Structure 1
Amino acid sequence: MPAHKAAPLVLSLPLGEPEPGAGLQRWLYDALRHCILGGRLPAGSTLPSTRALAEHYGLARGTVQAAYQQLLSEGYLESRTGSGTRVSAVLPDATLRSGYVQRKVTPGSETPRAAPRTPWIERLESISPVFAKRAVAPGTRPFFPHRGDVRSFPMDLWRKLHQQHLRASRSSLLLDGDPAGLPALREAIAEYLHIARGVHASAEQILVLGSVQQGLDLCLRLLVPPGERVWLEDPGYPGARQLLEVAGVNRVDVPVDTQGLRVEDGIRQAADARLACVSPSPPPALGVEMSPARRLALLRWATQSGAYIFEDDYDSEYRFIAKPIPALRSLPGASSSVILAGTFSKLLFPAIRLAYLVLPEQLVQAFTRATALTARHANSLGQAVLADFIREGHFDRHVRRMRKLYATRAEVFAEAAQRHWQGLIRVPEVRAGLDIACTLEAHTEADAFARLNTAGIDVLPLSRYCVTPRPPGLVMGFAPYDEQSIAEAAKALEQALRAPPSTGTP
């Protein structure tokens, strides 16, 4: 009489009960995987047929088949003709050894592990990144600065161009791209800069990146040894200041006045600086352009000292009183000293995450190699769509239309300020950009900021842009908000700042 054949081990294992709401296929997969990793189903163990296991646990056979198939595809099981389904001799992850116990991780169940004390992490702990998420999406409430009107972007046109590049015949765009950027986009940028900004540069000198901030990071890594000095505008863009703080360089805050960066002060403080970060047309917050004399002085210093100038072409296209002034990079003798940075996030929409550097020829190879190593390349599909958008004239038309729209909103903003904010906020003439620095006349920054935040109005304190103390002020944006929104917010702001202090307020 033949010997009795033992039932497969799995039928004698308690697999537990499914959690409420959990699918039976997921439960069975997790239970079998747990037994395999814990050694309760050792290598070579035979599993029952799907029919037998389904009958034993009261499951649909399809449920068991699906769980088996997932374990087979992940390498936990192997199936051979004539020998059934067995536990694999070698598990898919060498770190999952016999004796491993799978357990659910719940908050607080793990012993916290301290972050390593590297210089970068220590310096990051001392700042609050300006790009961190806010409770309310930035730009959705007046008068948050540094935002354009994405609602006016020609989305249907962009979608059409996007779909054209998703055809099967253009599938090469789904592969890896050139670290320097899509050649078609670099050529389009070079042509645009020649016409609009007076910059003469070949497409080979264009490096496409994800942001101006990434471009500044590359400059700090490649051009400034740790501990060396870098000029930065004061007031200036807080994101640049924070990047310098964590990069380990010695930041030199150079004051800005009504003619722009005080070059003579920079030379007096640090004539041997390796890099100067400037926004000459115009810088964030103050909205003043660097005068021709200061531009020449800055370029003369860089040429004589062997330093480089990082020119952030911030909001240069949105100048309301006349045509945009030429870039610093366009001046004679600037091509070997000036690195021009521009972004499409302000001109089109923030999520596009495409920017560029115009590099001196001697830096092209090093910057391209660094980009290949650290970021590989920017989004190829987005670059292709943007290249068409520029070459077909849509970009130029969009910028012209938005310049006119923003100029109108700047006038509405100024008129609303004149009507409602007398004695509260002094608003200078709005000549360019998406926002303006205003002077507080009746409150401290902290008091005004708290009152406006409670009233549902977004602004930024001017002190966030400054190292050297200045009179209290607010940086306020007008570009994304229509006339009605500006008028209503202006009245709400007046009410908030004229209201008597609440009980307990100093």
Structure 2
Amino acid sequence: MAVDKTPPEVVFLPLGTPEEGVSLQSWLYESLRAAILLGRLPAGSKLPSTRAMAEYYKLARGTVQAAYQQLLSEGYLQARTGSGTRVSKVLPDPTLNAGYVRRKVVAEVKESRSAPDTPWLNRLAEIDPIFSRRTLPSGLRPFFPHRGDIKAFPIDLWRKLHTQQLRSSRLSMLLDSDPAGLPALREAVAGYLAIARGVQVSASRILLLSTVQQGLDLCLRLLAPGESQVWMEDPGYPGARQLMEVSGVRRVDVPVDQAGLRVDEGVRLARDARLAYVTPSRQAPLGGELSPARRLALLQWAQEQGSHIFEDDYDSEYRFIAKPIPALRSMPGAEHSVIMAGTFSKLLFPAIRLAYLVLPEHLVEPFTRASALLSRHANGLAQAVLADFIHEGHFDRHVRRMRKIYASRADAFAEAAHRHWRGLIDVPEIRAGMDIACRLHVEDEQLAFERLQEAGIGSIPLSRYWVANTQAPGLMMGFAAYDEAAIEGSAKALVQALRA
């Protein structure tokens, strides 16, 4: 069956209010002409009939006919029997129209500046959100990082569990659910954390959310009021840094080395900070672990200051050389000051949009109330399916299987780098995760990144994770989402792109 590619009919556009002293015919003509030139009425779009337009805007039909006729005579519209009146595919006098468009755009910008001038809007205008439509990659191109292999997910099993939840006897799943999260999933998460992360916690301490970002936002709102100081790893996760930038807190960039966050530097720079953001199990992006001595120092600082630690435990399950190391939250005394965050978007698939917080007892009620106010609750149907997925053992089997697959691909990535990239890129030992921070043996990191983009090879410049910019040129590169053949082929293409 052929697909009609004709642009859909434009029923009615918001045309604004006529200015004083301007005739209705001139107002309608100018409004439609502006909509055409500014792309609001794209080429081929069908306009309403003169009768329908007149009735909708409460105009005389002769007024509409006159405006349409002027646009037809100037070439902006075309009228054909059986096809109606449509926007011309080739517009007239492009030179004159270019000036007209510029004037309209300037006028609209000036009008937009009358919008409320708020700190949030001002700070938001200064960043390019890491999750914006512009920054998200199209498709999966080796070696774009932070991605798992969705093709390996047991989608047929997930569909079966999903269907079971949609039986007529279970339609209550389609109603609102507990703001803290489905009890069955909270119990499942508590059981998982006890085995996999060494965290013994009651299900009542777990708050289910859509994203870890949402959990950090709650922490900034509730625990770091006004211009409170907050520690941020440098280098560190850009999404956390950007959220701090727009929240209004005073971000304190604390340096990171091979042993993780420099706690002594954090204390020197901002002893009175109310919150510290850390990735202790696998530092983002460098990949190291927070040393035992610094874990103790971090907990001691938080306890002495009455501050809190936000532990982002984002992909700790994927560790290849030994069992996953226990979470910071599992340490004695951590239950009072550590807020542990985890996500299923890394372990299963990004679109599941389910995450959790493990909260100190005194924060459970205020965080649940705040979450209910801001977002009601996470997707209840997805929660129910995930609870079954965990309780029936599918989750554990899937994670163990993916750990083996990713370990094999990490080896393939390291071997391909050794064969093809000597003198161009250094790849350190890959001990965990889905990506690795690599050093570039070129001076211009941005140019190397652009050359790889042109060659269809994904990566992220390492400088995007830093504030101090003291690091050598590098790229964040992923391997988990790509099979061995794709890794080998792209490794060869990378050499050609960089040497060009």
Q: TM-score when scaled to structure 1?
A: 0.78
Q: Name 2:92's counterpart in structure 1.
A: none
Alpha-carbon distance between aligned partners in 2 of 1:230 and 1:197, rounded to the nearest angstrom: 26
- Structure 2 letter corresponding to 1:394: H
How far apart are 1:444 and its partner, in Å?
1.6
2: distance between equivalents of 1:435 and 1:331? 27
- Per the alignment, residue 174 of structure 1 pairs with 174
Aligned pairs (5 A) from 1:235-314? 235-314=235-314
Please state whether the residue corresponding to 2:112 is helix, strand or coil. Answer: coil
SS in 1 for 2:348: coil
Report the equivalent of 1:53: none
Q: Deviations over 1:72-119 (max 9, x none)?
A: xxxxxxxxxxxxxxxxxxxxxxxxxxxxxxxxxxx9799543342110
Runs of 4+ in 1 over 4 A off after TM superposition: 20-23, 107-112
Deviates more, 1:137-146 or 1:298-307: 137-146
1:211-230 superposed matches below 5 A? 211-230=211-230
Q: How does 1:120-159 map to 2 (within 5 A)?
A: 120-134=120-134, 137-138=137-138, 140-159=140-159
User: 1:442: Cα distance to partner?
Assistant: 2.5
Q: Which SS does the other structure have where 1:474 is aligned?
A: strand
Checking the alignment, whether the CA contact within 8 Å between 1:283 and 1:314 is kept in structure 2 is no
Q: Which residue of 2 aligns with 1:495?
A: 496
What one-letter code is carried by the residue in structure 1 that aligns with 2:55? C
Q: Check the 8 A contact 1:336/1:360 in 2, yes or no.
A: yes
Contact persistence 2:345–2:353 (CA under 8 A): yes
Please give the alpha-carbon distance, in whole angstroms, between the structure 1 residues aligned to 2:409 and 2:438: 16
With over 3 angstroms needed to count, the CA separation of the structure-2 counterparts of 1:333 and 1:135, relative to structure 1, is closer
Q: Check if 1:423 corresponds to 2:420.
A: no
Q: In the alignment, what sits opposite 2:475?
A: 474
Contact 2:442 2:473 in 1 (8 A): no
Deviation at 1:133, TM superposition (A): 2.0
Q: How many aligned residue pairs are there? A: 411
Check conservation: 1:425, 1:438, Cα contact below 8 A. yes
Q: Deviations over 1:189-220 (max 9, x none)?
A: 01110111111111111101010000000000
SS at match of 2:126: coil
Query: What is the CA–CA distance in structure 2 between the aligned matches of 1:412 and 1:393, rounded to whole Å?
Result: 29
Distance across 2 between alignment mates of 1:118 and 1:135: 25
Quickly say closer, same or farther: Cα 1:109–1:292, change in 2 above 3 A. closer
Whether the 8 Å contact between 1:229 and 1:275 is mirrored in structure 2 is: yes
**Distance (Å, rounded) in 2 between the aligned partners of 1:320 and 1:193:** 19
- Name whichever of 169-178 and 113-122 sits farther off: 113-122
> CA offsets, 1:30-68, max 9 Å, x none?
939x6377399xxxxxxxxxxxxxxxxxxxxxxxxxxxx
Identity percentage over the alignment? 67
Residue matched to 1:94: none
- Report how far residue 443 of structure 1 moved: 3.7
Match of 2:412 in 1: 412
1:113 corresponding residue in structure 2: 112
Work out the CA distance in 1 between the residues paired with 2:379 and 2:285.
Answer: 30
Measured against aligned partners, the alpha-carbon deviations of 1:220-278 in whole angstroms (never above 9, x if no partner) come to 00000121100011110000000000000000111111111111110111110000000
- Give the TM-score normalised by structure 2: 0.79
SS of match in other structure, 2:475: strand
Structure 1's unaligned 5+ residue stretches are 1-19, 41-106, 500-506
8 A contact 1:284–1:314 mirrored in 2: no
Residue in structure 2 matched with residue 163 of structure 1 by the alignment: 163
Aligned-residue offset at 1:498? 1.4
Larger radius of gyration: 1
Partner Cα distance (1:136, 1:260) in 2: 28
Does structure 1 residue 358 correspond to structure 2 residue 363? no
Instruction: Measure, in 2, the Cα distance between the counterparts of 1:219 and 1:370.
Output: 10
* Letter matched to residue 409 of structure 1: R
1:93 corresponding residue in structure 2: none
TM-aligned CA deviation for residue 135 of structure 1:
7.5
Output the amino acid matched with 1:137: P
Q: Identify if the C-alpha distance between structure 1 residues 365 and 136 changes in structure 2 by more than 3 Å, giving closer, same or farther.
A: closer
- Deviation of the 1:137 alpha carbon: 3.3
2:135 & 2:196 partners in 1: Cα distance? Answer: 38
> What amino acid is aligned across from residue 38 of structure 1 in structure 2?
K
SS at match of 1:437: strand
Give, in whole Å, the separation in 2 of the partners of 1:239 and 1:133: 14
Instruction: Tell me the CA shift for residue 283 of structure 1.
Output: 1.5
Counterpart residue number, 1:31:
52
For the Cα contact (< 8 Å) 1:341–1:356, is it kept in 2?
yes
Cα distance in 2, alignment partners of residues 280 and 292 from structure 1: 10
Deviation at 1:132, TM superposition (A): 1.1
Task: Find the residue that maps to 2:143 and give its secondary structure.
Answer: coil
CA drift at 1:450: 1.3
Deviation, structure 1 residue 139: 5.6
Structure with the higher helix share, 1 or 2? 2
Distance, in Å, in 2 between the alignment partners of 1:476 and 1:282 is 15
- When residues 371 and 497 of structure 1 are mapped into structure 2, their CA distance, relative to the original with a 3 A threshold, is same
Contact 1:194 1:201 in 2 (8 A): yes
The Cα of 1:27 is off from its aligned counterpart by 6.7
Letter of the 1:494 counterpart:
V
Change (3 A) 1:276 1:21: closer
Which string of whole-angstrom CA distances, capped at 9 and with x for unpartnered residues, describes residues 278-330 of structure 1? Answer: 00010222000111111111011101110000000021000100000000000
Residues 136, 290 of structure 1: alpha-carbon distance in 2 compared, 3 angstrom cutoff: closer
What CA distance in whole angstroms lies between the structure 2 residues aligned with 1:109 and 1:164?
56
Amino acid in the other structure paired with 1:492: A
Query: RMSD of the TM alignment (CA)?
Result: 2.1
Unaligned stretches of 5+ in structure 2? Answer: 1-43, 61-103
Distance across 2 between alignment mates of 1:465 and 1:314: 16
